[in-house]
Amino acid sequence: MKAALQNYQARMQRVLDHVDQHLDDDLDLETMSRVAAFSKFHFHRQFMATFGVSVHRYVQLARLKRASHRLASKDAPSVTEIALEAGYDAPDAFARAFRRRFGQSPSSFRRSPDWAPWLAAFGPLNNARSKLMQIIYEPGDVTIRDVPPTQVAIMEHRGDRATLPATIERFIAWRKAAGLSPETSPTFNIFRSERIPENPADYSMDICVGTDQPIAPNDQRMKAGVIPGGRCAVLRVVHETHNLEPAALYLYRDWLPASGEEARDFPVYCRRHFSFFRDGPAHEVVVELFLPLK
């Protein structure tokens, strides 16, 4: 049973890899089913059942993601060329699809990308990619590090996790206004509650940016604080960085009891490392998860 499941998942993984490597080719249903070695009469339902998104939408999102990277790059070709690369016969059709997904026209995105809806639009793509990624952590993946104290500006999120995206947008707007780029000022999340508490109203997280600049006394959104220094167990996460629960679970359930260490009186937190093209996020975010130790 396990071998059969692994074989099935490997065939589906081949499809995702094929899409990544052949975005300029004809990625129709028959081609994709042939890559997976499944019947074309059933493959579209198998893909949807496995990834929660249709084959067509997955391919479209992958092409739009590459197109947005091209638009934001410094030496990008014309919008017409990018539209053709993305599989559209005319710039108008590309512009309509782009605006529908990201809330901006391609030319507006090129001038001033709005990254919040851009990140949200690729939720289905990222979720699909993570379906087959069963990450197994090992003791060697964890390092113990002496971390210096870090002064931060903090935006507190308190309440239902469903409202977190709005808090993140306010945080991004504040740091932009303060001139604190993610490239130069590190981003931290401090997790003060479970990811999904029994009572949704009990969800609690701090969103922080590293800075020692003073916070205005009348600032209703941000407050100054410090992430304390000390020994920490650090686990690097490079795959599903939007859900750190599996990594935290490994630290608490497996690593900590076997290590002989004891947790310090400060919540688990993470630092997000962004790769950039121009002034926005690239395709990858790497996260370091910190478990404070005595």
* Segment among 18-22, 221-225, 254-258 with least mean pLDDT: 18-22
Each residue of 30-81: pLDDT tens digit?
Answer: 999 999 999 988 988 898 888 888 898 899 888 988 888 888 776 778 888 8
Q: From 125, 159, 185, give the residue that closes a domain.
A: 125
Count of alpha carbons within 13 Å of 46, Cβ hemisphere only? 17
> Is residue 116 domain-shared with residue 150, that is, in the same domain?
no
* Segment among 38-42, 143-147, 178-182, 273-277 with least mean pLDDT: 273-277
| Residues forming a β-bridge with 153 | 209, 224
CATH number of the domain residue 152 falls in: 3.20.80.10
> Is residue 117 domain-shared with residue 33, that is, in the same domain?
yes
> Is residue 55 domain-shared with residue 166, that is, in the same domain?
no
pLDDT of 239 higher than 90: no
Distance CA 65, CA 50 (A): 21
Q: Is there a domain that residue 196 lies in?
A: yes
Q: Is there a domain that residue 132 lies in?
A: no
* Segment among 3-12, 27-36, 151-160 with least mean pLDDT: 3-12
Q: From 78, 97, 125, give the residue that closes a domain.
A: 125
pTM of the model: 0.62
Per-residue pLDDT, 69 = 82
CATH number of the domain residue 97 falls in: 1.10.10.60
Each residue of 125-135: pLDDT tens digit?
Answer: 777 776 665 56
Each residue of 208-234: pLDDT tens digit?
Answer: 999 999 998 888 889 999 999 999 999
> Is residue 114 domain-shared with residue 154, that is, in the same domain?
no
> Is residue 48 domain-shared with residue 88, that is, in the same domain?
yes
> Is residue 111 domain-shared with residue 187, that is, in the same domain?
no
Q: From 76, 94, 125, give the residue that closes a domain.
A: 125
> Is residue 77 domain-shared with residue 164, that is, in the same domain?
no
In this structure, what token pair is assigned to residue 132?
């087959």
Per-residue pLDDT, 134 = 58
What secondary structure, in 3-state letters, does the chain show?
Answer: CHHHHHHHHHHHHHHHHHHHHCCCCCCCHHHHHHHHCCCCCCHHHHHHHHHCCCHHHHHHHHHHHHHHHHHHCCCCCCHHHHHHHCCCCCHHHHHHHHHHHHCCCHHHHHHCCCHHHHHHHCHHHHHHHHHCCCCCCCHHHEEEEEECCEEEEEEEEECCHHHHHHHHHHHHHHHHHCCCCCCCCCEEEEECCCCCCCCHHHCEEEEEEECCCCCCCCCCCCEEEEECCEEEEEEEECCCCCCCHHHHHHHHHHHHHHHCCCECCCCCEEEEEEEEECCEEEEEEEEEEEEEEC
- Domains in the chain, number: 2
Q: Is there a domain that residue 164 lies in?
A: yes
> Is residue 58 domain-shared with residue 151, that is, in the same domain?
no
Distance CA 101, CA 110 (A): 15
> Is residue 107 domain-shared with residue 211, that is, in the same domain?
no
Q: Is there a domain that residue 130 lies in?
A: no
> Is residue 156 domain-shared with residue 22, that is, in the same domain?
no
Q: Which domain holds residue 223?
A: 139-292
